[in-house]
């Protein structure tokens, strides 16, 4: 079955440590996204990528970094500069092509819950 | 700029009662609108989408939503709630290219509780 796989499901970060969250999709989607979810705040966009080797900052990119070396993969690194990393992180993908507006829905992985040790 | 407001962070209904979850949007262009459901510790699942074809949209699990341009609303309804409907629901509007590329703009979510 096609879908999005996020790993690990739970992750713990020590002070000053960088951690990387994995996101892999086999839906042949061009666009991929990372969202952060905090209770009562909905989903906030961290980074998105519409094509391999290209990505853009979302609303809350500070303290995070991404890469898009392969169409199937869009890993997110939470750096030590992110002072409040505890949250639920969701990866999504879509068939959206660059254009004035997005018409296609996004497909989501099951998330990674990150906590501070 | 695109934005979504979900009225009511928490809605409680009895099993068999009508479910109504409210969503109002702001859009500088004709919008595309989506409703998603999230169960605890899981990702989001698409319930339904409005892409200008029909104003009444039917989705999965018996849910439907009506697009009302005059009220800038896209409320989600279900005639009879089931215990398995208890979850968090998100309304989303499509972003424009100069706002966030191809991303969606999400509301803050509404938690639905269903009692027996």
d(CA B56, CA A107): 23
Whether residue B85 lies within 8 A of chain A, CB to CB, comes out as no
Q: Which of B36, B38, B43, B45 to mutate to test the interface with A (most CBs of A within 10 A)?
A: B43
Q: Which two tokens stand for residue B82?
A: 């089931």
Give the angle subtended at the CA of A91 by the CAs of A70 and B110, to the nearest 5°: 165
| Residue-level pLDDT at B99 | 54
Of B32, B44, B96, the CB nearest to A103: B32
Peptide bond into B70 cis (omega under 30): no
CB-based contact A102:B95 (threshold 8 Å): yes
State residue B97's pLDDT score. Answer: 55
The reported pLDDT for the residue numbered B53 is 75
d(CA B78, CA B87): 14
| Ranges under pLDDT 50 in chain A | none
- In whole angstroms, give the CA distance from residue B61 to residue A64: 37
- Give the one of A4, A88, A102 whose C-beta lies nearest to B104's C-beta: A102
- Cis peptide bond N-terminal to A18, omega within 30: no
Token couple for A28? 């042949």
Tokens of A84: 């409040």
Distances (CA, A) of A39 to A18, A65, B31, B110: 23, 23, 26, 11
Taking only the tens of pLDDT, chain B with its 116 residues reads: 788 999 999 999 999 999 999 999 998 777 889 999 999 889 999 999 888 778 899 999 999 999 999 999 999 999 999 999 999 999 998 876 555 556 788 999 999 999 99
The answer to whether B101 faces chain A, any CB pair under 8 Å, is yes
Residues of A in contact with B36 (CB under 8 A): 108
């Amino acid at each position: 079955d096609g879908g999005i796989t996020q790993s690990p499901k739970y992750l713990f970060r020590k002070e000053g440590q960088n951690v990387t969250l994995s996101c892999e999709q086999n839906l042949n989607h061009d666009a991929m996204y990372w969202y952060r979810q905090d209770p009562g705040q909905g989903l906030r966009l961290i980074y998105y990528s519409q094509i391999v080797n290209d990505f853009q900052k979302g609303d809350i990119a500070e303290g995070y970094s991404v890469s898009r070396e392969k169409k199937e993969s869009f890993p997110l690194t939470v750096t030590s500069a992110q002072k409040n990393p505890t949250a639920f992180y969701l990866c999504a993908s879509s068939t959206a092509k660059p254009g004035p507006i997005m018409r296609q829905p996004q497909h989501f992985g099951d998330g990674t819950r990150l906590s501070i040790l | 700029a695109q934005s979504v407001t979900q009225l009511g962070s928490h809605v409680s209904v009895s099993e068999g009662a009508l479910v109504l979850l409210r969503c109002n949007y702001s859009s500088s262009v004709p919008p595309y609108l989506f409703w998603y459901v999230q169960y605890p510790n899981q990702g989001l699942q698409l319930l339904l989408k409005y892409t200008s074809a029909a104003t009444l949209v039917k989705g999965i699990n018996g849910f439907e939503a009506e697009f009302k341009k005059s009220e800038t609303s896209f409320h989600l309804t279900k005639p009879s709630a089931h215990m398995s409907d208890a979850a968090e629901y998100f309304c989303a509007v499509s972003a424009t290219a100069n706002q966030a590329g191809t991303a969606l703009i999400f509301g803050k979510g509404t938690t639905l509780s269903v009692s027996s």
